[in-house]
Amino acid sequence: MTPVCPGPHHEEERVLLGHGAGGRLSAELLGSVLLPALGAPDGPLEDAALLPGHPELVVSTDGFVVKPLFFPGGDIGSLAVHGTVNDLAMRGGMPVALTLSLVLEEGLPLSELRTVMESAGKAAGGADVPVVAGDTKVVERGAVDRMFLTTTGIGRRLPFMRPSAAGARPGDAILLSGPIGLHGTAVLSTREGLGFEADIASDTRPLHRLVRALAPLAGHVHALRDPTRGGLAAALNEIARDSRVGTEIDESRLPVPAPVAAACDLLGLDPLQVANEGCFVACTHESAADTALTALRSLPEGCGAVRIGNVVPDHPGRVVMRTLVGARRVVDMPLGEQLPRIC
C-alpha cells in the first residue's frame, strides 16, 4: 500500500511558527481568525491604534519572546521597551506611559530577572517614559521558556503628525533612518553561536526623537513604519498594500552593513527580510525629503539616514527593487518565518 498524505481538509489546522512572523501567514491568521472573532473593523493594520474618544492618544501592545534573553546590543528588557516606544512613534506618538507584564518560568535565576528589569528600567528612563503598571505570573518549569514580556504603551501624538501606513502618496520620497539587518543577525548569531556576534550588535533603540525631529514637517510626513518582523520587505509591502500605491527602491542605496551581508550570505537569509529594531521607513512629500533627511541626520540614531526610493502610482500593492545589475525584481511580502523568536 502507498501511504496517503491527508489533504489539508482532513487534518486539523494548527498554529505554525510562520503565523507569528509578521508576513503573509500572520496577515492570514489576523484576517481569518483574530479580527473577525474580536469584531475588529477591517482596515489598515497600524503599529498603534487611536484611543476612542481621545484622538490625540495612541496605544500599542507587543509580546516579546526573544531567544536568547541577552544578545549583543541589548536584551529582552530593553527590546520590549524600545519596541513599544517605536510602535507609538510610528503613529507620531511620544510615549506617555508603559505597562509591563511578565511571565516567568519557575527556577529562573533572580539575578537574570533583575538584570532584565534594570535594562527595561534604563530603557524606559532613556525614553523619558514611566512604567506605570505591571503584572507578574510564574508558571511551573517547562511551561514557558524562561521569560516572556508584554509591553503596552500609550503615546500623545505630535501636533499635525498623522502618519499612517495608509498615508503614502505617489510621488513621495522613501527614506530609511539607518542600516538594516543588524537585530536579526545579532540574535541569530548569538543563539546559534555563529561567531558574527563579535561584529554585529542589535540596533535596538528608541526612535521617537527621530520622529520628533520631523515634527516641523508634520503635514508632509505621510507614512512611518519600523521594519521589525519581516524586515524592510514586510514594511514596504504593508505601506504599498494599505496606501494602494507602488513602492520602488534602489538596491544600491540600501544600507546593509558588510558583516550583515556576510552573515546573510552564509546563512541564506535575505537582508530585506531580517528584523530591525532601530530604524524606520518614512514616506514624505518630495518637497520635504531633503529637509527630512537633514533632520534625521542631526541625531546620532539617524546619522545613517538615506533615501532609498519613491512611491509610484504604478503596480499598487507591490514593491519593486532596481537591483545592482539594473534589473527590476518584485520584493514579495515574506511568507512566514526566516528567524523564529527574534523579538
Contacts to a second copy from residues 52-71, by CB under 8 A? 52-54, 57, 59-65, 67
Q: Least separation, in Å, of the C-beta of 55 and a second copy?
A: 12
Instruction: Read off φ and ψ for residue 340, nearest 5 degrees.
Output: -70, 155
Q: Which is nearer to a second copy, 316 or 336 (CB)?
A: 336
Buried b (16+ CB within 10 A) or exposed e, 176-214: bbbbbbbbbbbbbbbbeeeebbebbbbbbbbbbbbbbbb
Question: Quick check: 21 binds a second copy (CB under 8 A)?
Answer: yes
Question: Quick check: 19 binds a second copy (CB under 8 A)?
Answer: yes
Beta strands in 270-339 (DSSP E): 281-284, 306-312, 319-322, 328-330
Site for a second copy in 139-168 (CB under 8 A): 139-140, 142-145, 148, 150, 152, 154, 156
Q: Least separation, in Å, of the C-beta of 263 and a second copy?
A: 22
- The correct pick among 24, 72, 126, 134 for binding a second copy (CB under 8 A) is 134
Could you tell me which stretch among 1-9, 30-38, 231-239, 307-315 binds a second copy (CB under 8 A)?
30-38
Q: Least separation, in Å, of the C-beta of 171 and a second copy?
A: 31
Angle at 224 between CA 74 and CA 248, to 5 degrees: 110
Q: Which is nearer to a second copy, 43 or 326 (CB)?
A: 43
Neighbouring-strand partners of residue 137 = 103
Q: Least separation, in Å, of the C-beta of 296 and a second copy?
A: 26
Neighbouring-strand partners of residue 246 = 312
Q: Which is nearer to a second copy, 146 or 241 (CB)?
A: 146
User: If you search the block for the grid coordinates 509578521, which residue do you land on?
Assistant: 22
Question: Quick check: 111 binds a second copy (CB under 8 A)?
Answer: yes
Question: Quick check: 317 binds a second copy (CB under 8 A)?
Answer: no
CA distance 319 to 332: 7
Q: Are 119 and 74 in contact (CB under 8 A)?
A: yes
Query: H-type helices in 164-321, by residue range?
Result: 182-192, 208-213, 231-243, 258-267, 289-297
Site for a second copy in 262-281 (CB under 8 A): none
Q: Least separation, in Å, of the C-beta of 23 and a second copy?
A: 12
Question: Quick check: 340 binds a second copy (CB under 8 A)?
Answer: yes
User: If you search the block for the grid coordinates 506618538, which residue do you land on?
Assistant: 93
Question: Quick check: 113 binds a second copy (CB under 8 A)?
Answer: yes
CA distance 179 to 185: 13
- The correct pick among 72, 101, 191, 315 for binding a second copy (CB under 8 A) is 101
CA distance 46 to 237: 13
Half-sphere exposure (CA, 13 Å, Cβ side) for 44?
A: 24
- The correct pick among 44, 138, 253, 265 for binding a second copy (CB under 8 A) is 138
**How big is the site for a second copy, counted in residues (CB under 8 A)?**
80
